[in-house]
Chain A
Amino acid sequence: EAQVTQNPRYLITVTGKKLTVTCSQNMNHEYMSWYRQDPGLGLRQIYYSMNVEVTDKGDVPEGYKVSRKEKRNFPLILESPSPNQTSLYFCASSPISWSRGAYEQYFGPGTRLTVT
């Protein structure tokens, strides 16, 4: 089954304690992206990757890091989480589009993070 998986699904942590949210896709997609969803703001892009070892900032990258060492995995790292990073996080993947707007992206089930 084609899917994007994320772990953990729920996480409660304290300010400053480093954490990693994993993301994996089994569709051999080149493009992967992280979003956060906040009430009234929709989904905002944090970071994205066009392929292995190629990552770039999205609209709200402050306080986050990513890596893309393998095509299937795209972990999101919060080195020193703060309460304003409490949010619902989604990982997504798609084929690369070179000649038109973005292809439809496949989303993971989400990770609800609470930072106290």
Chain B
Amino acid sequence: DQQVKQNSPSLSVQEGRISILNCDYTNSMFDYFLWYKKYPAEGPTFLISISSIKDKNEDGRFTVFLNKSAKHLSLHIVPSQPGDSAVYFCAASATEYGNKLVFGAGTILRVKS
């Protein structure tokens, strides 16, 4: 039973356009959400996070939106660059679960130049 779902296995976007990666979760206990980026032959690296008390968090070209009522979050990348091509993982955690992260299956983003 996957508590964190990334329903799009892959996404292809033209350079300069917006990339939108989506993530849904089922566990209402989750109160902190993270996005990780992973290049081939490397480990995942932290990208951006959001607490459940917020609905938006921005960091440069990256913005994460959280819709608690829909149990949905999305990562927006504007403008997309070829170097953004990677696998993006959504992860969730809950204060009650300590330091455990629950990951989605990942979305492969390809940014075409």
A interface residues, Cβ below 8 angstroms from B: 4, 31, 33, 35, 40-45, 48, 50, 58, 90, 92, 94, 96-97, 99-110
Contact = CB atoms under 8 A, between A and B. Distances in A.
A109 B94 contact: no
B105 interface: yes
Majority SS at the chain B contact face:
loop
B103 A44 contact: yes
Contacts of A102: 32, 34, 93, 97-101
A97 B20 CA distance: 30
B105 A101 contact: no
A92 to B, nearest CB: 8
Contacts of B4: 42
Interface of B: 2, 4, 6, 9, 30-32, 34, 36, 41-46, 49, 51, 89, 92-95, 97-101, 103-106
Contact of B99 (A44, A97, A108): A97
Contact of A107 (B30, B43, B106): B43
A104 B32 CA distance: 10
